[in-house]
């Protein structure tokens, strides 16, 4: 794992190289996805079945056969060991309680001319959530995507999850039952995204697609944006830790591991002004690495995109946080609240040495669907607001029509739009 210092000559260039991530679409992936989406758009059920049979090795004669009934979802929930079921329920409750405090309500006001202005807030009619399957099975993904949709009041939630060779993850199905997902289809890949975006005879078109996936899923979401809404096109997972050197080094090393184990392109960075502490963390990384089941992935991630960086002080660390704009930020310092006002760009901020990022992944409450690849500079975590729309309300009074009509007519004439001007002036008496 590389060591850097902000005092080093060439540090800026080294940091830029460290943060660089090629997010451009692979032309071969993009071409494959374009072909699949076009086929799904044209042939619907038949195309989805063809690709599901090919990629997931599932035999079915109709798409309806790939829908999991509610009875099976409920049975999966009941079949879980009590400890697992209780943990799942506790996580779902905490996430729901947090999101219930996010809701935006319809509101209006009356201005000085008696015009009523405001916004009407309404939920999406239908949302689609993509949940990875096969080797990767994440019940937490179900909770984090379905819960804000439910709290927002979405009319119907349709979940797609691939089940290669028919292998269904009971925790994922249980999470679907627990969060109130309406329909679940065992399909995945670009074909599932296409089915959600365009609709088929069996699977209705949704208004927005959320949830993570592989390169083909990401490319498909990118392509269907505009036909439907999407949450984001996420890059590799990231963690940035700011530490004052007073947290147990083993804790920090494992926090770095918690993101590095996702995949080889994940990024884990530690900022600290104490060089001796960085040495202790480096030693802990080597000591604990050998016992990690996913050590090969962790090693590749840390060696490829990880770093231990010495900063001059915590103020400089905060400035670097804003430059990096990480998905996950841990402020593992004695007075984290003092640093918070200095942080402008981060997906989720974990305050104090007891706030490990792993808690946020599962059960702290806030959503774990977060902006990556510096997009925290302009975007936010998934929330209830992502499943709501706002319609402007404009109710003009008789008196307001006179004042507004004159203003609008004058501006319309300036833009060379006489019909606009006439329409505005028709409401003015005389």
**Residues involved in catalysis:** 327-328
* C-alpha to C-alpha distance for 21 and 18, rounded to whole angstroms: 8
What phi and psi values does residue 350 have, to the nearest 5 degrees? Answer: -100, 120
| CA max distance for the chain | 87
Count of helices and strands (H, E) across the chain: 17, 15
CB 210 within 8 A of CB 131: no
The burial class, CB within 10 Å (0-12 / 13-18 / 19+), for 334 is: exposed
DSSP state of 25: P
Secondary structure of residue 50 in the 3-state scheme: helix
* C-alpha to C-alpha distance for 302 and 132, rounded to whole angstroms: 24
Return all residues near 347 (Cβ < 8 A) that are at least 6 apart: 326, 327, 328, 329, 370, 371, 372, 376, 380, 381
Element of type H or E holding 317 = helix 314-324
DSSP state of 418: H
* C-alpha to C-alpha distance for 185 and 341, rounded to whole angstroms: 44
Closest CA to 229 of 95, 101, 102, 385: 385
């Amino acid at each position: 794992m590389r060591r850097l210092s902000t005092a080093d000559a060439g540090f800026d260039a080294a940091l830029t190289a460290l943060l660089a991530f090629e997010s451009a679409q692979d032309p071969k992936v993009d071409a494959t996805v374009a072909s699949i989406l076009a086929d799904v758009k044209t042939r619907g059920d038949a195309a989805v079945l063809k690709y599901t049979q090919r990629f997931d090795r599932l035999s079915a004669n109709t798409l309806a056969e790939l829908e999991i009934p509610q009875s099976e979802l409920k049975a999966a929930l009941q079949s879980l060991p009590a400890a697992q079921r209780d943990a799942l329920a506790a996580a779902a409750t905490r996430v729901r309680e947090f999101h219930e405090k996010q809701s935006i309500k319809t509101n209006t006001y009356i201005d000085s001319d008696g015009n009523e202005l405001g916004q009407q807030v309404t939920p999406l009619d239908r949302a689609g959530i993509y949940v990875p399957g096969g080797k990767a099975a994440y019940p937490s993904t179900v909770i984090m995507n379905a819960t804000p949709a439910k709290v927002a009041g979405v009319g119907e939630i349709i979940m797609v999850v691939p089940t290669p060779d028919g292998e269904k993850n009971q925790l994922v199905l249980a999470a679907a039952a627990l969060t109130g997902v309406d329909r679940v289809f065992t399909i995945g890949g670009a074909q599932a995204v296409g089915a959600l975006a365009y609709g088929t005879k069996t699977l209705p078109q949704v208004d927005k697609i959320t949830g993570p996936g592989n390169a083909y899923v990401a490319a498909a979401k990118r392509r269907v944006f505009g036909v439907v809404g999407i949450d984001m096109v996420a890059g590799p997972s990231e963690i940035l830790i700011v530490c004052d050197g007073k947290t147990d080094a083993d804790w920090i090393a494992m926090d770095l591991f918690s993101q590095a184990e996702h995949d080889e392109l994940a990024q884990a960075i530690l900022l600290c002004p104490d060089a001796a502490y960085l040495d202790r963390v480096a030693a802990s990384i080597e000591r604990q690495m050998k016992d990690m089941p996913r050590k090969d992935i962790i090693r590749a991630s840390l060696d490829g995109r990880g770093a231990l960086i010495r900063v001059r002080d915590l103020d400089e660390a905060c400035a670097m946080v804003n430059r990096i704009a990480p998905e996950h930020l841990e402020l593992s310092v004695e007075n984290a609240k003092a640093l918070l006002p200095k942080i402008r760009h981060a997906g989720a901020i974990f305050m104090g040495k007891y706030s490990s990022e792993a808690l946020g992944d599962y059960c702290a409450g806030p959503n774990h669907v977060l902006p990556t690849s510096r997009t925290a500079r302009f975007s936010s975590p998934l929330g209830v607001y992502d499943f709501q729309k706002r319609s402007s309300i404009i109710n003009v009074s008789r008196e307001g029509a006179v004042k507004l009509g004159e203003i609008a007519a004058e501006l319309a004439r300036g833009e060379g739009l006489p019909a606009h001007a006439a329409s505005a002036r028709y409401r003015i008496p005389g």
